[in-house]
């Protein structure tokens, strides 16, 4: 290819300079692992945000298979000031997909680094490369008859533990706080050096996956949701599969029940009677994952009327809120905790409890039971069919696990979404003491007017929640800088000071979580 043929270039990099970098990538990785043609790059430019595709078009994509090749890519990027956006499995759809933060960044795709390096069934530990998927790891556990179970996000089969953990994703089992279960990272730094966290720096040490802290400052968290290094190995803990897993659902009839639900769940969750990450899902979330489309009920534009929501609830045998939990342990342990849960529900005086046997293989109970039992699936993609058109943005504020907080957040979110003609499709995930409020802002991206409304809606959600002291913990690439602003100047100055020290050429994923030396001037 002539050096004049590159249609998209990195910021401030000219054709000749970029051509030299591409030729070095080819010499390092081979021609098949350096993609520059528009058709080749199309999969790396698929987005679900209300932006123009062109704003997130990569200039090239390269694939590496070894840590040494990742070091080589970083070296070339430094020499030619080419920014690189790294993806592991690239299945983080609602938070940004594989497309880079901004136009012209090259993609470093690590899906070919997919070795399961080690699984210890006795200790319940694993060490994997970036491209390992949850389905791959699940199959490995099954084929080797290991007494272990996974925790993952949903949809899970095509996503992977390294990428999900590095972005601080959560799951639905007792090990659902994934970063808490992380134990040991290997990272290629911007200067090309390989750094291992925890015990990994001592050659021959075998405690890397069992003890998090090592010696001196513990830096693992610094590399999550950040752009200070490229993670090439991740260690984490796996739960031993218990003799009994008892998933169940509790349906509540009215949307106003949310405050009482949270007050009912919190003590059971904090005291580990219910040990997993409990989900409290709204009716449209559950209906969508059971195959319901908005067009089944109405063709009118705008937000779906409450009367239709009630009709869907009735037709599909759902609650206004659908609470999913599971009990784990020996038969005796599960029986004791089941009696505690049913006793507390009786005291509450509302809520219909449904066991796996009573659900009888129906959706959405079945896919929820799989999530809580460590069986990957793709059922949650049904959300994207509710309105159709490929628009999706996750809005994820966090609050205290108090009924009053969830009541306020739900009312505010629904008011804003409906004002912009969109639906509340959300769920709360109960951590130990927190609530992740996860809302999928679904819209038709092929409709310019609706896309414009979705963009305005997301901005208003950010503004109004911030005014009330609710911060979001994760967001898609379009809004990363906006969310970074909400956390204040001191945090941003510290993050950019670290960036300047570790990556002075600003080559590693500039823009990730709002960290970009070319854009930040508030020193």
Q: What is the pLDDT of residues 192-236, one digit of tens each?
A: 999 999 999 999 999 999 999 999 999 999 999 999 999 999 999
CATH code of the domain covering residue 165: 3.30.465.10
Of 193, 223, 240, the residue that ends a domain is 240
- What mean pLDDT, rounded, does the chain reach? 95
Domain shared by 296 and 340, yes or no:
yes
* 479 within domain boundaries: no
Question: Between β-strands 125-128 and 116-120, what pairing exists: parallel, antiparallel or unpaired?
Answer: antiparallel
H or E stretch covering 234: strand 229-237
- Going through 55-98 in order, the beta strands assigned E by DSSP cover 60-63, 84-87
pLDDT band at 94 (very low <50, low <70, confident <90, very high): low
User: Percent of the chain at pLDDT above 90?
Assistant: 93
Same-domain pairing of 338 and 235: no
Residue 520 in any domain: the answer is: no
Q: Does 296 map to a domain?
A: yes
Alpha-carbon gap, residue 368 to 391, rounded angstroms: 24
pLDDT of residue 431: 87
Report yes or no on 523 lying in a domain. no
Structural domain contains residue 31 = yes
157, 190: one domain? yes
- Count Cα neighbours of 352 within 13 Å in the Cβ-side half-sphere: 13
Statement to judge: residues 145 and 34 lie in one domain: no
Q: What is the CATH number of the domain that holds 327?
A: 3.40.462.10
Instruction: Check whether residue 332 and residue 395 sit in a common domain.
Output: yes
Domain shared by 299 and 409, yes or no: yes
Same domain, 232 and 248: no
* Range with the poorest average pLDDT among 126-135, 348-357, 377-386, 440-449: 377-386
Place 4 in a pLDDT band, splitting at 50, 70 and 90.
low
What integer is the mean pLDDT of 122-134? 97
- pLDDT of 5 > 90? The answer is no
Q: At what angle do helices 15-29 and 67-80 cross, to 10 degrees?
A: 170
* Domain co-membership, 195 together with 329: no
Q: Are 304 and 430 found together in one domain?
A: yes
CA distance 202 to 99: 36
DSSP state of 22: H
Identify whether 364 is preceded by a cis peptide bond (ω within 30 of 0): yes
Last residue of a domain, one of 240, 255, 288: 240
- Residue-wise pLDDT for 289-320, tens only, equals 999 999 999 999 999 999 999 999 999 999 99
- Least trusted range by pLDDT, from 52-56, 91-95, 297-301, 418-422: 91-95
Of residues 261, 234, 238, 232, the one with CA closest to residue 323: 261
Q: Are residues 121 and 203 in the same domain?
A: yes
Let me know if residue 5 belongs to a domain: no
Q: Per residue in 493-522, is it b (16+ CB within 10 Å) or e — as a string?
A: eebbeebeebbebbbbbbbbbbbbeeebee
pLDDT tens for 139-186 read 999 999 999 999 998 877 889 999 999 999 999 999 999 999 999 999
- Residues facing 298 on adjacent strands: none
Q: Please give the angle made by the CA atoms of 255, 260 and 262, to the nearest 5 degrees.
A: 95
What pLDDT was estimated at residue 19?
A: 97
Please state the domain count of the chain: 4
* Of the residues 109, 126, 161, the one at which a domain ends: 109
Q: Is the pLDDT of residue 1 over 60?
A: no
State whether 368 and 453 are in the same domain: yes
Is there a domain that residue 300 lies in? yes
* Residue 55: domain span: 15-109
Do residues 201 and 312 both lie within one domain? no
Residue 262 belongs to a domain: yes
Q: What is the pLDDT of residues 337-373, one digit of tens each?
A: 999 999 999 999 999 999 999 999 999 999 999 999 9
What percentage of residues in the chain have a pLDDT greater than 70? 99
User: What is the domain-level CATH number for residue 35?
Assistant: 3.30.43.10
pLDDT at 211: 97
**What's the whole-model pTM score?**
0.95
Average pLDDT over residues 466-473: 96
Check pLDDT > 80 for residue 2: no
Return d(Cα 160, Cα 109) in angstroms, integer: 13
């Amino acid at each position: 290819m002539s050096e004049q043929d590159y249609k998209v270039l990195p910021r401030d990099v000219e054709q000749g300079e970029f051509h030299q970098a591409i030729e070095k990538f080819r010499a390092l990785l081979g021609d098949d692992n350096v993609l520059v043609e528009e058709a080749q790059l199309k999969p790396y430019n698929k987005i679900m945000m209300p932006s123009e595709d062109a704003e997130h078009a990569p200039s090239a994509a390269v694939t590496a298979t070894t840590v040494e090749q990742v070091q080589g890519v970083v070296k070339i990027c430094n020499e030619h000031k080419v920014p690189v956006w790294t993806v592991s499995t690239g299945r983080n759809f609602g938070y940004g997909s594989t497309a880079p933060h901004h136009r012209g960044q090259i993609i470093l795709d690590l899906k070919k680094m997919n070795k399961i390096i080690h699984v210890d069934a006795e200790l319940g530990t694993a060490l994997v490369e970036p491209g390992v998927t949850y389905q791959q790891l699940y199959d490995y556990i099954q084929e080797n008859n290991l007494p272990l179970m996974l925790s993952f996000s949903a949809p899970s089969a095509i996503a992977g533990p390294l990428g999900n953990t590095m972005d601080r994703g959560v799951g639905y089992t007792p090990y659902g706080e994934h970063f808490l279960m992380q134990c040991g990272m290997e990272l290629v730094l911007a200067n090309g050096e390989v750094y291992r966290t925890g015990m990994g720096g001592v050659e021959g040490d075998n405690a890397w996956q069992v003890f998090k802290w090592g010696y001196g400052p513990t830096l693992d968290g610094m590399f999550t949701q950040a752009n200070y290094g490229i993670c090439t190995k991740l260690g984490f803990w796996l739960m031993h599969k218990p003799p009994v897993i008892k998933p169940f659902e509790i349906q509540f009839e009215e949307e106003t029940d949310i405050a009482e639900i949270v007050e009912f769940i919190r003590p059971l969750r904090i005291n580990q009677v219910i040990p997993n990450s409990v989900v409290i899902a709204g009716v449209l979330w559950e209906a969508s994952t059971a195959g319901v489309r908005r067009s089944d009920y109405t063709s009118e534009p705008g937000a779906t009327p409450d009367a239709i929501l009630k009709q869907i609830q009735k037709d599909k045998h759902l609650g206004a809120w659908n609470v999913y939990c599971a009990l784990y342990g020996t038969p005796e342990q599960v029986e004791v905790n089941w009696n505690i849960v049913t006793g507390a529900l009786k005291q509450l005086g509302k809520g219909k409890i449904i066991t796996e046997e009573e659900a009888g293989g129906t959706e959405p109970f079945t896919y929820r039971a799989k999530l809580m039992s460590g069986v990957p699936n793709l059922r949650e993609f049904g959300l994207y069919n509710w309105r159709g058109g490929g628009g999706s943005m996750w809005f994820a504020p966090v609050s205290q696990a108090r009924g009053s907080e969830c009541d306020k957040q739900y009312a505010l979110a629904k008011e804003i979404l409906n004002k912009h003609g969109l639906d509340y499709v959300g769920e709360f995930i109960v951590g130990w003491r927190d609530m992740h409020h996860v809302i999928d802002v679904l819209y038709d991206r092929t409709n310019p007017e609706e896309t414009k409304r979705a963009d305005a809606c997301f901005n208003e959600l950010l503004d109004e929640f911030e005014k009330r002291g609710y911060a979001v913990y994760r967001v898609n690439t379009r809004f990363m800088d906006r969310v970074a602003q909400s956390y204040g100047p001191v945090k941003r100055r510290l993050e950019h000071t670290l960036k300047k020290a570790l990556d002075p050429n600003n080559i590693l994923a500039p823009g990730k979580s709002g960290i970009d030396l070319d854009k930040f001037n508030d020193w």
